[in-house]
Structure 1
Amino acid sequence: MPGVYFDELSVGQVFVHALRRTITEMDNVLFTSMTHNPALLHLDEEYCRTETEFGARIVNSAFTLGLMVGISVGDTTLGTAVANLGWDEVRFPNPLYHGDTIRVETEVLELRPSKSRPNAGIVTFQHRAWNQKGQLVAVCKRSGLQLKRPAQGAA
Structure 2
Amino acid sequence: MKTVGLGFYYEDMPVGLKFKTIGRTVTETDLVNFVNCTGMVEVLFTNAEFRQKESDIKSRLVPAMLAQTFAEGLLVQATMQHTGFAFLGMELNVVSPTIVGDTIHVEVEVLEARLSKSRPHRGLVRTRNQVVKQTGEVVLTYTPTRMIKCRSGVS
Q: 1:13 aligned to 2:17?
A: yes
C-alpha displacement of 1:107? 1.0
CA deviation profile, 1:75-114 (whole Å, cap 9, x unmatched): 32221111111122x1121111111111211111101110
Structure 1 runs of 4+ with >6 Å offset? none
The letter for the 2-side match of 1:47 is: F
Name the structure 1 match of 2:66.
Answer: 63
The answer on whether the counterparts of 1:44 and 1:57 sit within 8 Å (CA) in structure 2 is no
1:70 alignment partner AA: G
Q: TM-score, normalised by structure 2?
A: 0.90
Gaps of 5+ in 2: none
Distance 1:113 1:23 in 2: 36
What is aligned with 1:143?
145
Q: Which residue of 2 aligns with 1:117?
A: 119
- Would you say the 8 A contact 2:26–2:103 is kept in 1? yes
Count matched residues. Answer: 150
Q: CA deviation at 1:150?
A: 3.8
The alignment-based identity, stated in percent, is 32
1-structure distance, mates of 2:59, 2:102: 13
